[in-house]
Amino acid sequence: DGGITQSPKYLFRKEGQNVTLSCEQNLNHDAMYWYRQDPGQGLRLIYYSQIVNDFQKGDIAEGYSVSREKKESFPLTVTSAQKNPTAFYLCASSTMGYNSPLHFGNGTRLTVT
């Protein structure tokens, strides 16, 4: 079955540590996205990538970094510079066609204490 896999489902870290969230897709989609979800707020775009080895900042990129070395993979690193990292992180992918809807993974809940 094709889909988007995010791992782990739950992640706990101490403040000051960097942490990397995994996102893998086997849908052969060119574009991949990372969103952050906080209670009572819509999804906010962190980074997106439309092609391998290229990515762009979204609306809230500060304190995050990404890489896109393979089409199938788009890992997100939450660095110690992110002031409020505890959140639910969602990865998504889409084709590059105009008006292509996003398909989401099941998310990673990160808790930093």
Partner 1 sequence: GQQLNQSPQSMFIQEGEDVSMNCTSSSIFNTWLWYKQDPGEGPVLLIALYKAGELTSNGRLTAQFGITRKDSFLNISASIPSDVGIYFCAGQDLEYGNKLVFGAGTILRVKS
Q: Under the rule (CB under 8 A), what is the footprint of partner 1?
A: 4, 6, 33, 35, 40-45, 48, 56, 58-59, 90, 92, 98-107, 109
Instruction: For Cα atoms 89, 94, 96, give the angle at the middle one, nearest 5 degrees.
Output: 140
Give 16 or 42: the residue with its C-beta nearer to partner 1. 42
85 vs 105 by CB, closer to partner 1: 105
- What string of DSSP letters covers 63-93? TEEE--SBTTB--EEE-TT-S---EEEEEEE
Q: How far is the CB of 47 from partner 1 (least distance, A)?
A: 11
